[in-house]
């Protein structure tokens, strides 16, 4: 791959997060760190994998959410304690910068004119334009008394109830300001606050994500990846027209494409028109990674033994590990021998069986993963 087409983006994470009022936010004593999520992925792209892609960690978190729903007795912070740990390693998902393409400032109860500063997402990067942008919404559709921020969603993804409750392409004050738990206490009129440029250090200091949004995006991403994996397998070399794919597949395909397209390319205004790849959101980066993996023939599926989600180079793989493959083999073997001969469980026999499976497990663990 040449340098120009290389995917290199930066993302931000704090070294520590906390959950307060159901919002995941930076811890007071945390440090902001910049990193490139593609660094590890590029190293494992196109080669036999021994390291797992970062999105898999999000998928496993999403799987746990499915379980905690059944565990309603515990309070929400105990149930979601793994989210801050994930964020300390990878950062927040970037739901706000992925969902919107424009935030108009200043905002509340002022007449719209053409000289307001506007944060705009362009080619995967946010920039502030001080003046001169046309109002994208007709005047009559605006209600400055109700809506604090002028914006429009770039994705159908955002308009889906799964992710964010967006009505008629607009957000309420409460929904928007929930992204900013770090606003100074003396700010009384949150709608009038000059929100900093998304993805700038000032932005990260204020920004947080609601647990329900975070888990909604994680679970949706997982579902899309699983749906597309199953579909790709069922095709087995056939090539139907895109429009002939089942409804749920088309939906998954559209959603992953929508969210990955938030990442993009920007030609800088530096005289050389230098090309930069940028992603406004970790979810956009993950969606792109998932699609790249699907393209390379990798599939996302759940282990038939333990249920854990995994990514495999082998399209026929059904187990997450040699250990699980072996356990399933053993179970099948036992089921067969049970039906062949009447069950007899003398103590000697079951002890032998145990020893046998222990040895086999050890051997299986010594073999390389696949």
3-state SS assignment for residue 327: helix
- The region of 92-100, 106-114, 149-157, 305-313 touching Zn ion under the rule CB under 5 A is 305-313
* Class of residue 192 by CB neighbours under 10 A (exposed 0-12, middle 13-18, buried 19+): middle
Considering only residues 312-341, where is the footprint of Zn ion by CB under 5 A?
A: 320, 324
Q: At closest approach, how far in Å is the CB of 317 from Zn ion? A: 11
Beta carbon nearer to Zn ion, 205 or 328: 328
Q: At closest approach, how far in Å is the CB of 329 from Zn ion? A: 13
**Cα gap 293→66, rounded to integer Å:** 24
Residue 36 is inside which H or E element, if any?
Answer: none
- The region of 29-37, 48-56, 95-103, 301-309 touching Zn ion under the rule CB under 5 A is 301-309
Considering only residues 102-121, where is the footprint of Zn ion by CB under 5 A?
A: none
Beta carbon nearer to Zn ion, 285 or 312: 312
Considering only residues 79-98, where is the footprint of Zn ion by CB under 5 A?
A: none
Q: How many residues bind Zn ion (CB under 5 A)?
A: 6
> 145, 136, 152: which is closest to 110 by C-alpha?
145
Residue 80 is inside which H or E element, if any?
Answer: none
Task: Pick the binder of Zn ion from 303, 309, 312, 325 (CB under 5 A).
Answer: 303
3-state SS assignment for residue 221: helix
Across 314-335, b (16+ Cβ under 10 Å) vs e yields eeebebbbbbbbbbbeeeeeee
The distance from CA 31 to its chain's CA centroid, rounded to whole angstroms, is: 22
- 339 CB-near residues (< 8 Å, 6+ apart): none
Beta carbon nearer to Zn ion, 116 or 305: 305
What sign does the dihedral 219-221-227-230 (CA atoms) show? negative
Across 286-307, b (16+ Cβ under 10 Å) vs e yields bbbbbbbbbeeebbbbbbebee
305 binds Zn ion (CB under 5 A): yes
Beta carbon nearer to Zn ion, 154 or 322: 322
Beta carbon nearer to Zn ion, 307 or 356: 307
Q: At closest approach, how far in Å is the CB of 354 from Zn ion? A: 21
Q: At closest approach, how far in Å is the CB of 48 from Zn ion? A: 19
Beta carbon nearer to Zn ion, 156 or 304: 304
Beta carbon nearer to Zn ion, 40 or 318: 318
Q: At closest approach, how far in Å is the CB of 313 from Zn ion? A: 16
Considering only residues 264-283, where is the footprint of Zn ion by CB under 5 A?
A: none
Q: At closest approach, how far in Å is the CB of 328 from Zn ion? A: 9
Q: At closest approach, how far in Å is the CB of 67 from Zn ion? A: 15
Beta carbon nearer to Zn ion, 93 or 303: 303
- The region of 14-22, 177-185, 188-196, 302-310 touching Zn ion under the rule CB under 5 A is 302-310
**Cα gap 362→33, rounded to integer Å:** 40
- The region of 105-113, 199-207, 239-247, 297-305 touching Zn ion under the rule CB under 5 A is 297-305
3-state SS assignment for residue 251: helix
3-state helix, strand, coil in the chain (%, to 5): 40, 15, 45
Beta carbon nearer to Zn ion, 278 or 303: 303
Beta carbon nearer to Zn ion, 172 or 230: 230
Q: At closest approach, how far in Å is the CB of 332 from Zn ion? A: 15
* Class of residue 168 by CB neighbours under 10 A (exposed 0-12, middle 13-18, buried 19+): exposed
Do residues 218 and 58 lie in contact, with contact meaning Cβ atoms separated by under 8 Å?
Answer: yes
Q: At closest approach, how far in Å is the CB of 305 from Zn ion? A: 5
HSE-up (13 A, CA, CB side) for residue 220:
27
Q: At closest approach, how far in Å is the CB of 50 from Zn ion? A: 17
The distance from CA 123 to its chain's CA centroid, rounded to whole angstroms, is: 19
The distance from CA 265 to its chain's CA centroid, rounded to whole angstroms, is: 20
* Chain residues in the site for Zn ion (CB under 5 A): 303, 305-306, 308, 320, 324
């Amino acid at each position: 791959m040449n340098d120009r087409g290389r995917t290199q983006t930066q993302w931000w994470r704090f070294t520590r997060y906390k959950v307060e009022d159901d919002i995941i936010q930076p811890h007071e004593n945390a440090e902001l760190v910049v990193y490139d999520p593609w660094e590890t992925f590029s190293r494992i792209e196109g080669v036999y994998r021994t390291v797992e892609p970062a999105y898999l960690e999000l998928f496993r978190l999403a799987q746990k959410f499915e379980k905690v729903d059944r565990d309603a007795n515990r309070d929400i912070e105990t149930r979601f304690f793994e989210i801050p740990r994930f964020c300390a390693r990878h950062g927040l998902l970037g739901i706000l910068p992925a969902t919107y393409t424009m935030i108009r400032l200043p905002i509340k109860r002022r007449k719209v004119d053409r000289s307001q500063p506007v944060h705009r997402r362009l080619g995967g990067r946010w920039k502030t334009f001080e003046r001169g942008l046309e109002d994208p919404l007709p005047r009559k559709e605006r209600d400055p008394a109700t809506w604090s921020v002028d914006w429009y969603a770039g994705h159908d993804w955002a308009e889906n109830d799964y992710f964010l409750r967006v009505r008629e392409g607009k957000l309420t004050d409460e929904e928007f300001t929930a992204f900013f738990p770090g606003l100074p206490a003396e700010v009384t009129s949150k709608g009038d606050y000059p929100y900093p440029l998304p993805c700038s250090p000032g932005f990260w200091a204020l920004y947080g994500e609601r647990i329900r949004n975070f888990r909604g995006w994680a679970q949706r991403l997982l579902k899309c990846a699983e749906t597309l994996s199953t579909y790709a397998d069922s095709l087995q070399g056939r090539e139907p027209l895109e429009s002939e794919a089942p409804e749920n597949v088309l939906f998954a395909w559209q959603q992953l494409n929508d969210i990955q397209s938030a990442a993009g390319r920007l030609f800088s205004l530096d005289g050389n028109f230098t090309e930069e790849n940028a992603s406004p959101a970790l979810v956009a980066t993950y969606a792109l990674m998932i699609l790249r993996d699907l393209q390379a023939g990798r599939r996302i599926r759940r282990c038939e033994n333990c249920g854990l989600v995994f990514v495999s180079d082998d399209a026929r793989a059904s187990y997450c590990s040699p250990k699980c493959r072996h356990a399933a083999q053993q179970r099948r073997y036992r089921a067969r021998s049970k039906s062949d001969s009447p069950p007899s469980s003398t103590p000697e026999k079951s002890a032998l069986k145990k020893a046998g499976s222990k040895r086999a497990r050890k051997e299986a663990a010594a073999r390389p993963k696949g």
